[in-house]
Amino acid sequence: MQVERIPSTFADLNVVLKERLGRLGHFTSIDGSQLIALILYPHEGKASLLEIPLEGANSYHSLTPHHAQLHWFERATYDMFGILPEGHPRFKHIYMHDPYEENFFPLRRVHLPENFQSPIKRHFSFLEVKGEGVYELPVGPIHAGIIEPGHFRFSCYGETIVNLEIQLGYVHRGVEKRLTEVALPRMHFIAEAVASDTAAANALAHAEAIESMLEIAVSERSKYLRSMALEIERLAMHIIDVGGIATDIGLLGISSTMGRLRGKALGLGDMLAGSRFLRGFIVPGGVRAAGRSLSNFKSQITILRHELKEPLNMFLDNQMALERMREIGVLKNSLCREFGMVGPAARASGEAYDTRQHFPHGAYPAMAPPVVTAKDGDILAREMVRIKEIWSTLDTLDRLIDNLPEGQTQMEVPDKLPANKIGLGVVEAFRGELVHLVLSGPKGEVLRYAIKHPSFNNWTALAIAIRNNLIADFPLCNKSFSLSYSGNDL
């Protein structure tokens, strides 16, 4: 996608966010001497990059008090670049904790001011809740299941959660920095490994960004095949997420069936890409190993649709199960807007935002299915959105394979990026809006490769939604958001 680069000021950004002229797609810096804010305009299908020079200063007045959605962005920008947001209400590290030196900011290229001293310590701190009967419950970073690491600090009053503080960053690998170092032909391997369960979406966002810099238009066939990969990933992950909810409320029969059916959905990926997890399929310039054996593809979708019907109906007919999910972890629409939530979690709160409708990627928006929404914002609403999206995804796959055009699948791609370009890929991953933003320097080198994973927007939502709920409901609520740790930690 093409991006317009606009030199601007904090006042401009303030107006854009206040008047809701556009969505905040990303907020970060390039080398530490400026701030950039990616603004997405869903209705026009456009994007612009507001560049705010800091003019030698190392701090600015935090925007978080007025625009809550910048809350994590400003913390992350400090972690990576050392740019201080003065007056940030809850300022602490987000990715990088104890093991790192105090004045180490990995992506900063300009020198830190003399006598710079980080105002916050690296070690863990959290908002303490005091009072009789309040106790702290630390959970993680090592969990009982085979999941990713994250530390949750609950302040509880009896069985009720008063406050939840989430600390992430345990799987920080320096992906963004590494992406600026490797040569273009190897970049897509790292890009798709940002979060392995979102491999196809990350690969697609990367490919879209790189292609927009090189000004390559991929063939129609590639676009359709890319969309198919994206939908297969969504299908498999939505199936296992619904199964995960069934596990957590104790419906083990349904959960094991969903586990088996996820395997079948991944089998579709094997048919399409020769890789069940769709690795190495979407590359800049098109797709690789395309359409190995698509002859059975359609019948497999029909079988899967048939097999999904029964467990999903059993799940939705079980009144105890519905009762268990209703009115827990409610996320109000107003909060959802204020914090800029994305994906199924936002759609379950009545926010009709699906990037497939708005931004070109793969065969969208031409082949985009209608947006699925719900209004209650509770666990049940989130699961209903997922279940309806399973059906709409199966329909989309059917339409894609029916209309699959003939033609080339791989274009010639130069092995170097053009100078001073901006590339952008906005993709609807199964968790929501995924952004890859690439800026190249005067010699065609990558100056900054910025990734915004949908989980980055939604982690805060979880912490808000769980307040005043029962502590025993947290795992269920957590599962219903289905957030990624590695996608957030980068």
Partner 1 sequence: MESLLTDLNRQEWLRAGAFFFSLILMPPLTVGIIRKTKARFQNRIGAPIFQPFYDLTKLLKKDETISNHVSWIFRSAPSINLSLLFIVACLAPWTTLHPFGIPGDLFLLIYLLAFSRFFTVLSALDAGSAFGGFGASREVTLALLVEPAIMLSLASLGVTAGTSDLTTVFSFENVKLQSQTGLWFIAGCGLFLSSLVELSRMPADDPTTHLELTMVHEAMILENSATNLALAELTHFVKIVVLLGISSQCFLHSLPWVWHASEITRALASIGGVFFMAAFIAVIESVAVKLRWTKLPEFIAYSVAMSIFCVLIALSRGTN
Report the interface residues with partner 1, using CB under 8 A: 135-139, 144-145, 156, 159, 248-253, 255-257, 260, 318, 320-321, 323-324, 328, 470-475
CA of 136: how far to CAs of 139, 157, 162, in Å?
10, 9, 10
CB 470, min distance to partner 1, A: 5
Map residue 384 onto helix, strand or coil.
helix
Closest CB to partner 1 among residues 187, 261: 261
CB 328, min distance to partner 1, A: 8
Nearest CA among 262, 290, 256, 296 for reference residue 276: 262
CB 333, min distance to partner 1, A: 24
* Burial category of 441 from C-beta neighbours within 10 Å (exposed 0-12, middle 13-18, buried 19 and up): middle
Nearest CA among 181, 180, 206, 171 for reference residue 192: 206
Nearest CA among 441, 431, 436, 403 for reference residue 28: 436
CB 128, min distance to partner 1, A: 15
Closest CB to partner 1 among residues 201, 328: 328
Chain-centre distance for alpha carbon 62: 24
CB 145, min distance to partner 1, A: 5
* DSSP β-bridge partners for residue 60: 85
Closest CB to partner 1 among residues 251, 266: 251
CB 321, min distance to partner 1, A: 5
Closest CB to partner 1 among residues 186, 260: 260
CB 240, min distance to partner 1, A: 16
41: enclosing H helix or E strand: strand 34-41
Distance in angstroms between the alpha carbons of the first and the last residue of the chain: 23
Chain-centre distance for alpha carbon 219: 27
Closest CB to partner 1 among residues 48, 469: 469
Angle (deg, nearest 10), helices 220-249 and 297-317: 30
Yes or no: say if 348 and 385 are a contact pair by the CB < 8 Å rule: yes
* DSSP β-bridge partners for residue 86: 61
Closest CB to partner 1 among residues 249, 462: 249
* Burial category of 194 from C-beta neighbours within 10 Å (exposed 0-12, middle 13-18, buried 19 and up): buried
| Alpha helices, DSSP H, located in 148-285 | 175-181, 184-192, 199-214, 220-249, 252-273
CB 220, min distance to partner 1, A: 42
CA angle 402, 408, 412 (to 5 degrees): 145
CB 22, min distance to partner 1, A: 39
Map residue 237 onto helix, strand or coil.
helix
Closest CB to partner 1 among residues 311, 340: 311
CB 253, min distance to partner 1, A: 5
Round to whole Å and give the CA distance between 157 and 318: 32
Closest CB to partner 1 among residues 250, 370: 250
User: DSSP label at 112?
Assistant: P
Closest CB to partner 1 among residues 284, 377: 377
Amino acid at 86: E
Closest CB to partner 1 among residues 61, 260: 260
